[in-house]
């Protein structure tokens, strides 16, 4: 057995993924999303264990006999697991993204969904196999007493499985999503002998410390442990909650991942971003008086929980209720395709385009396109939009944190008013200087957009400064180090 690393990280998506070109060449792409941003500083002796996501990744795994060339991964040592494609598809598309993601984000339209039948049972077995493969790899890579930080809803069973294999390890689990309240969570198959709901909770409780992005999600987790497992909760000398179940204690932590100000400020001042700003300005255009039009910006994966369609409807309502904005504002919406293997995501992507086109058809004029929608992922263009935004619209129906809400104030050139959903994790830290909304309420969101557009420049700049300070309170390096220190305590 090779036992080497003192620090290990495990997540479904690693820091890079690969695509195979027409001539068989591999192209590496940095992973997106909050998890990868948070862990981007994990370097040195640490190893990052992740899954091969598609053909490109599998090809990369084959070429290097199970380990990638660290040069390709930006200095990170990566071990990519080459799982059977059907096991990966069942675990990732089936259980992780169609069940656990839906439960934690409360996305089911419950009269028809969910349906837990034979397909679910097969997918659940794959999820167990997939989690066991991670536990095996981590057990093999970890030095005696090493710290292992397991990430997210894809890997809820790993802490328990790893503890059985290696009781000497310090194991942490971090949830990057919300956690569902008990009445919703118990929708998962559950019976007096255990069931899936109990298996997930027990899996996470295999950790020495389970951590969350906000106190709200941490509380929901402990409530599930109490109501579904009969666990007990107390508070330790450091003020952290502790869940005790079957004689084992798991500490509960909260670490609100912040934006990486140094990286963002440097990256957003590069020439490729300037070029894209010029192109966007051109697309946004000028109003009848020759002034730059105001820009309401949103940047999201095309993800059901991001509430992009209601955001567009609220913008439409703004144009209905406030004709004074006609020709003076543009909604710049970046909605990057996500999880396109799932029909419900494909349908949602189509609906976003349909509603955007409808608004343009109803209100657009020869020299004014009310909605500029981009669907091709381009990080430099996202940063360009961050810089020129007058208003940022972040209106998820439920979100673990939402880093966009934290990144825009940091990068903004001239101050940006933030319209923020009370259901985003970021609300806990940014509510004071944002205009907050109930994400289901179209009229209230339209009013909030109007208020944000009408805010005077001085107030906007002041609020943006305070938002940026709150957004960067816990940058990724500190976020990671704090967890490591707490785990070793
Ligand atoms: O937990 C949330 C998360 O892992 C984010 O980091 C990221 O935005 C998203 O989920 C990634 O989803 P996927 O890997 O399915 O694209």
Is 64 exposed, middle or buried, given 0-12, 13-18 or 19+ CB atoms closer than 10 A?
exposed
The two three-digit tokens of residue 294, written as one number: 């105001």
User: Quick one: which atom of ligand 1 is closest to the CA of 177?
Assistant: 1
Closest by CA to 460, choosing from 413, 427, 406, 428, is 413
How many beta carbons lie within 10 A of that of residue 183, not counting itself?
10
- From the CA of 142, how far away is ligand 1's center (Å)? 25
Nearest protein Cα to ligand 1, atom 11:
33
- Using alpha carbons only, what angle is made at residue 259 by residues 258 and 260, rounded to the nearest 5 degrees? 120
| Dist CA 255 CA 235 (whole Å) | 17
In the numeric block, which tokens belong to residue 184?
A: 């919703």
Among 16, 17, 35, residue to substitute to test ligand 1 (most atoms within 8 Å of Cβ): 35
pLDDT at 241 (0 to 100):
97
Report the complex ipTM: 0.96
Please tell me the predicted confidence (pLDDT) of residue 61.
Answer: 82
Backbone phi, psi, residue 101, to 5°: -60, -45
Residue carrying structure tokens 């997210």: 152
Dihedral angle of Cα 74, 39, 77, 73, to the nearest 10 degrees? -30
Q: How many residues does the chain have?
A: 489
> Does residue 33's CB lie within 6 angstroms of at least one atom of ligand 1?
yes
How far, in Å, is the centroid of ligand 1 from the Cα of 102? 13
Q: Whose CA is nearest to atom 9 of ligand 1?
A: 33
Helix pair angle (457-471, 404-411), 10° resolution: 120
Q: How far apart are the two ends of the chain, measured CA to CA in Å?
A: 27
What local confidence, expressed as pLDDT, does residue 24 receive?
80
User: So what's the pLDDT on residue 3?
Assistant: 52
Ligand 1 in contact with 339 (CB < 6 A)?
yes
Contacts of 279 (CB under 8 A, 6+ apart): 384
Q: What is the pTM of this model?
A: 0.95
Residue 74 CA, ligand 1 centroid: distance in Å = 20
Work out which ligand 1 atom sits closest to the CA atom of 176. Answer: 1
**For a substitution probing ligand 1, which of 9, 13, 180, 336 has the most ligand atoms within 8 Å of its CB?**
13
pLDDT of residue 417: 98
Q: Which residues share a beta bridge with 210? A: 173, 252
Residues with pLDDT less than 70, the chain: 1-3, 32-34, 43, 66-72, 192-193
Which residue's CA is minimally distant from atom 4 of ligand 1?
Answer: 35
In this structure, the residue with its CA closest to atom 12 of ligand 1 is: 33
Which of 287, 285, 269 minimizes the C-alpha distance to 386?
269
- Name the token pair of 4: 């080497």
What's the CA-to-centroid distance between 475 and ligand 1, angstroms? 19
DSSP 438-487: -TT-HHHHHHHHHHHHHS-HHHHHHHHHHHHHHHTSS-HHHHHHHHHHHH
For the segment 361-410, what is each residue's pLDDT rounded down to a tens digit? Answer: 999 999 999 999 999 999 999 999 999 999 999 999 999 999 999 999 99
Give the other-Cβ count within 10 Å of 31's Cβ.
18
- Which among 34, 50, 150 is the best mutation to test ligand 1's pocket, defined by most ligand atoms within 8 Å of the CB? 34
Does the C-beta of 35 come closer than 6 Å to ligand 1?
yes
Is any ligand 1 atom within 6 A of the Cβ of residue 13?
yes
- Is the four-CA dihedral 466, 471, 477, 480 of positive or negative sign? positive
Q: What is the pLDDT of residue 76?
A: 80
Helix runs in 54-194, H state only: 55-63, 85-89, 101-104, 118-141, 158-165, 182-185
Over residues 128-176, the pLDDT tens digits come to 999 999 999 999 999 999 999 999 999 999 999 999 999 999 999 999 9
């Amino acid at each position: 057995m090779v036992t080497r690393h003192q620090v290990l990280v495990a997540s479904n998506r690693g820091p890079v993924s690969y695509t195979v070109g027409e001539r068989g060449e591999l192209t590496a792409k940095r992973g997106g999303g909050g998890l990868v941003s948070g862990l981007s500083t994990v370097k040195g002796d640490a190893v990052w264990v992740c899954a091969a996501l598609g053909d490109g990744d599998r090809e990369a795994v084959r070429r290097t006999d199970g380990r990638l060339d660290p040069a390709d991964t930006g200095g990170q040592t990566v071990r990519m697991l080459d799982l059977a494609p059907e096991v990966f598809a069942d675990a990732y598309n089936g259980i992780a993204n169609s069940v656990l993601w839906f439960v934690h984000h409360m996305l089911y339209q419950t009269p028809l969904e969910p349906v837990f039948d034979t397909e679910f049972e097969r997918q659940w077995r794959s999820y167990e196999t997939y989690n066991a493969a991670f536990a095996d790899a981590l057990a093999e890579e970890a030095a005696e007493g090493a710290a292992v930080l397991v990430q997210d809803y894809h890997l809820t069973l790993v802490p328990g499985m790893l503890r059985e294999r290696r009781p000497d390890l310090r194991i942490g689990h971090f949830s990057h999503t919300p956690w569902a309240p008990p009445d919703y969570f118990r929708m998962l198959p559950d019976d007096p002998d255990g069931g899936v709901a109990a298996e997930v909770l027990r899996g996470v409780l295999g950790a020495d410390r389970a951590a969350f992005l906000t106190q709200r999600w941490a509380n929901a987790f402990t409530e599930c442990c109490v109501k579904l497992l009969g666990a007990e909760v107390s508070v330790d000398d450091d003020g952290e909650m502790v869940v005790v179940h079957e004689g084992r204690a798991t500490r509960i932590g909260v670490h609100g991942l912040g934006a990486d100000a140094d990286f963002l400020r440097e990256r957003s001042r590069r020439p490729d971003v300037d070029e894209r700003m010029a192109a966007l300005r051109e697309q946004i255009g000028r109003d009848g008086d020759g002034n730059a039009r105001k820009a309401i910006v949103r940047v999201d994966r095309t993800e059901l929980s991001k509430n992009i369609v209601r955001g567009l409807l609220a913008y439409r309502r703004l144009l209905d209720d406030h004709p004074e904005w006609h020709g003076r504002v543009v909604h710049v919406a970046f909605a990057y395709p996500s999880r396109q293997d799932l029909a419900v995501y494909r349908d949602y992507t189509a609906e976003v385009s349909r509603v955007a086109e409808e608004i343009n058809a109803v209100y657009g004029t020869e020299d004014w396109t009310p909605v500029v929608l981009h669907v091709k992922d381009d990080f430099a263009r996202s940063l360009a939009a961050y810089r020129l935004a007058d208003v940022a619209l972040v209106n998820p129906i439920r979100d673990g944190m939402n880093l966009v809400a934290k990144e825009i104030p940091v990068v903004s050139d001239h101050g940006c008013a933030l319209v923020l959903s009370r259901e985003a994790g970021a609300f806990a830290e940014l509510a004071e200087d944002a205009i907050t909304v109930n994400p289901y309420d179209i009229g209230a969101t339209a009013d909030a957009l109007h208020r944000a557009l009408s805010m005077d420049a001085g107030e906007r700049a002041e609020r943006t400064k305070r938002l940026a300070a709150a957004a960067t309170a816990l940058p990724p390096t500190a976020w990671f180090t704090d967890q490591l220190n707490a785990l070793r305590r």
